[in-house]
Amino acid sequence: MRVPEDKIEAYYDALSAFWHPVARSADLVESPLGVRLLDRRLVLARLEGEAVAFEDLCRHLGAALSIGDVVEGCHLRCRYHGWSYDRTGRCVDIPARRGRPIPREAKVRRFHTREAYGIVWVCLAGEPQHDIPPFPEYRDEEFHKGPLRTYGPWRASVPRVVMAALDDTHFPWVHPGILGDPSQPDPPEHEVWREDGRLLSTYTMLQPDNDTVASGEDRPALEKVTYTNHLTPTSIRLVKESAAGTYVIWQASSPISWDETLVFSYQARTFDRGADRDPDYERLQDEIQEQDRPVVESQRPWLLPPLSSRMMLYIRPADLPLISYQKWLEELGIPQQL
Ligand code: FES
Ligand SMILES: [Fe+2]
């Protein structure tokens, strides 16, 4: 199914007002890094200690600055003819023109950049209109945090990826024996509401025994768990309460393009707090992601179709969280695809 260019452009426009994760802070050290966001090539660099994002395009003859060098920790130098840019994006050295003024137009476009949770975030709009997706457990000592991980890129749009984490009625089908039990396909009762510009949903269900829901001896085959999901249009934080304690998955999706999504993810837990246990939790998460991936990548159309089109036949009450999320995107003017 072809996607009209104007729909893609409108989608990029709408998402450009949000902060998007683009790289690990730890990866931005001595060399520049080329990344893609909303199909735009960006170069990231750490200049004078600050993470900066520029258009990945030298003002001289258009070479990619991401294949250049960071010089003395403060300038980004193009590999082609050595033009150097400071952290504001202004050209400060043209080796073939030394001793003469540098043209005023010799600068590259700089985008808003921030660092939070060990991640570099970029907003492409003139003024960011939203916050970075909150992750309160990051600094909460009650929680042990696993390492930052990335998944993908998946061949799917961001809303499809977020909805895969929001939707629980697929658990018995896609994650049998881990998150759901095929003998119990009845959906839980969902509550969905808005708060402080975010969407929240909660539900209680029975989940098969695994490390994230139970601990100790004599674990029951099925454990009662309550999820509370906190959403922004591009991220989800799943807070799961169970006999084991509180287990959190935080996922921020980066729209590399309209049909490619890279996920930055953390796990946090109040129990089983040893870092030596992290690989077991990572393996579980990897398995779940790999079960989701082929299904999500198979979904069409790539961007969500408008609710009014009835191209997706939601059922109530099971799909209430998905319907609410999609309605919310429509209210926010995030375009859909027919
Ligand atoms: S293209 Fe970058 S210095 Fe010439
Ligand atoms: Fe899933």
Residues 317-327 pLDDT 10s: 999 999 999 99
Which ligand has the nearest atom to the CA of 251? 2
User: Whose alpha carbon is nearest atom 3 of ligand 1?
Assistant: 81
Q: Quick check: 4 pLDDT over 90? A: no
Residues 319 and 217 placed together within one structural domain of the fold: yes
Single out the residue in 123, 145, 173 at which a domain terminates: 123
Q: Would you place residue 220 in the very low, low, confident or very high pLDDT band (cuts 50, 70, 90)?
A: confident
**Mutational pocket test of ligand 1: of 54, 61, 65, the residue with most ligand atoms within 8 Å of the beta carbon:** 61
Query: Residues near 253 by Cβ (< 8 Å), separated by ≥ 6?
Result: 158, 161, 162, 234, 235, 261, 262, 263, 264
The pair of three-digit structure tokens given for residue 193, joined into one six-digit string: 């509401």
Here the CATH number for the domain that contains residue 113 is 2.102.10.10
Query: Is residue 239 domain-resident?
Result: yes
Which ligand has the nearest atom to the CA of 164? 2
Q: What is the pLDDT of residue 290?
A: 97
**Mutational pocket test of ligand 1: of 43, 58, 93, 102, the residue with most ligand atoms within 8 Å of the beta carbon:** 58
Residues 275 and 174 placed together within one structural domain of the fold: yes
Query: What's the gap in Å between 291 CA and the centre of ligand 2?
Result: 7
Q: Quick check: 153 pLDDT over 90? A: yes
Residues 175 and 283 placed together within one structural domain of the fold: yes
CB 234 within 8 A of CB 162: yes
Query: Is residue 224 domain-resident?
Result: yes
Query: What's the gap in Å between 298 CA and the centre of ligand 2?
Result: 14
Q: What is the pLDDT of residue 218?
A: 81
Q: What is the pLDDT of residue 2?
A: 74
Q: What is the pLDDT of residue 3?
A: 81
**Mutational pocket test of ligand 1: of 60, 65, 71, 94, the residue with most ligand atoms within 8 Å of the beta carbon:** 60
CB 285 within 8 A of CB 170: no
Q: What is the pLDDT of residue 184?
A: 85
Ligand 1 site residues (CB inside 6 A) read: 58, 60-61, 63, 78, 80-83
Query: Is residue 130 domain-resident?
Result: no
Locus of tokens 């049998």:
176
Query: Is residue 177 domain-resident?
Result: yes
Strands 260-269 and 245-257, by their bridges, are: antiparallel
Query: Is residue 336 domain-resident?
Result: no
The total number of structural domains that make up the chain: 2
Domain with 273 in it: 136-331
Residues 171 and 305 placed together within one structural domain of the fold: yes
Residues 162 and 71 placed together within one structural domain of the fold: no
Q: How far is residue 287 CA from its own chain's centroid?
A: 19
Ligand 1, residue 94: give the atom nearest the CA.
Answer: 3
Residues 119 and 160 placed together within one structural domain of the fold: no
CA distance 145 to 241: 16
The pair of three-digit structure tokens given for residue 212, joined into one six-digit string: 């994230």
Model-wide pTM > 0.85: yes
Residues 109 and 250 placed together within one structural domain of the fold: no
The pair of three-digit structure tokens given for residue 90, joined into one six-digit string: 């202004």
Here the CATH number for the domain that contains residue 322 is 3.90.380.10
Residues 119 and 156 placed together within one structural domain of the fold: no
Query: Is residue 6 domain-resident?
Result: no
Q: Would you place residue 216 in the very low, low, confident or very high pLDDT band (cuts 50, 70, 90)?
A: confident
Query: What's the gap in Å between 45 CA and the centre of ligand 1?
Result: 17
Nearest CA to 57 out of 73, 76, 74, 38 is that of 76
Query: What's the gap in Å between 309 CA and the centre of ligand 2?
Result: 25
Residues 43 and 143 placed together within one structural domain of the fold: no
- Mean pLDDT within 310-320: 94
Single out the residue in 123, 157, 174 at which a domain terminates: 123
Residues 117 and 141 placed together within one structural domain of the fold: no
pLDDT tens track for 101-146: 999 999 999 999 999 999 999 999 999 999 999 999 999 999 999 9
Q: Would you place residue 1 in the very low, low, confident or very high pLDDT band (cuts 50, 70, 90)?
A: low
Ligand 1, residue 61: give the atom nearest the CA.
Answer: 1
Residues 169 and 302 placed together within one structural domain of the fold: yes
User: Whose alpha carbon is nearest atom 1 of ligand 1?
Assistant: 61
Query: Is residue 63 domain-resident?
Result: yes
Q: What is the pLDDT of residue 176?
A: 94
Mean pLDDT, the chain, rounded, equals 96
Query: What's the gap in Å between 83 CA and the centre of ligand 1?
Result: 6
pLDDT tens track for 19-35: 999 999 999 999 999 99
pLDDT tens track for 267-310: 999 999 999 999 999 999 999 999 999 999 999 999 999 999 98
Single out the residue in 88, 123, 158 at which a domain terminates: 123
Residues 82 and 31 placed together within one structural domain of the fold: yes
Query: Is residue 256 domain-resident?
Result: yes
- Mean pLDDT within 59-78: 98
Strand runs (DSSP E) across 209-317, as ranges? 222-232, 235-242, 245-257, 260-269
Length of the chain, please? 338
Number of helices (H) and strands (E) in the chain: give both, helices first.
5, 18
